[in-house]
Amino acid sequence: LRNALRYVPAGGSVVVRLDASGDVWSLSVTDDGPGIPAGDVARVFDRFYRADPSRTDGGSGLGLAIVQEIIARHGGAVRAENAPDGGAVFRVELPRLP
């Protein structure tokens, strides 16, 4: 959420959605910001990686790497992609407990 709020332009939107399907919970965070540069999508979960190192708005490049590790330890997965109409989408899937 923090990244979505950081990169969405003034007046933009961030949508959080939670769905349950079968034995999986799915959480998505979608924004209408600039999206992720195509060459960076595969790297956003790398430790210390920042898509734009010239930005001065803080951040160490650890947040998404930590998210990925926590989700993996709970048997889930997280992925990032660009939304078809612009912006970024981050999806987390976790197994539903009985």
Per-position DSSP letters for 7-19, written without gaps between them: HSPTT--EEEEEE
What is the model's pTM?
0.83
Taking domain 2-95, whether its CATH number is 3.60.15.10 is answered by no
* Residue 68 host element (H or E): helix 63-73
Is the pLDDT score of 89 beyond 70? yes
Distance CA 72, CA 44 (A): 16
pLDDT tens string 26-36: 999 999 988 98
Query: Residue 32 and residue 45: Cα distance in Å, rounded?
Result: 20
What is d(CA 7, CA 9) in angstroms, rounded to the nearest whole number?
6
For residues 45 and 78, the answer to whether their CB atoms sit within 8 Å is yes
